Amino acid sequence: MDCTTTSPAARRYLRRFLVTMLLYVVFIVLAVSVFVHYRPTGPLAWLLAVLPALAIILQIAAYGLYLAEETDEFQKNLAVQSMVWGIGATLSVTVTWGFLENFVQLRHMDLFLVYPLFCGLSGIAYGLVGRRYR
């Protein structure tokens, strides 16, 4: 989810992105600290485990807001195209990895890595799609 424009919508997205990243770091540190020191169980353990994911869900929502608020149709088109390529590439990598895990015992990929993988691949896609319009 790359964004290099300076439109008001892009600036708002950047702010929201930074806030959700900060939340993510705080939630990760909190969850790890509590689990290491107190070894919680039951609903508290579930809540702590879900908190970092909540920050990521908020980040995805922030991107949805960006797409809704961006009035520059070309930039919105770039963002959507890169997201679609990012989704396709992420699905391709993860489904291939899954079969390799089953059949040739490739190292297990943790599911929480799927989102950063998607962000990275979407970022690469943004650069490549953008080159088509130069």
- Which C-beta is closer to another protein: that of 7 or that of 94? 7
Rounded distance between C-alpha atoms, residue 81 and residue 79, angstroms: 6
- Which C-beta is closer to another protein: that of 39 or that of 134? 134
Q: Where would I find the beta strands (DSSP E) of 12-84? A: none
Q: Return the CA Rg of the chain.
A: 18
Least spacing, CB of residue 5 vs another protein, in Å: 5
- Which C-beta is closer to another protein: that of 5 or that of 94? 5
Q: Name the residues that contact another protein, by CB under 8 A.
A: 5-7, 71-75, 77, 130, 132-134
Least spacing, CB of residue 78 vs another protein, in Å: 8
Instruction: Compute CA distances 3 → 13, 75, 86, 118, whole Å.
Output: 8, 9, 14, 15
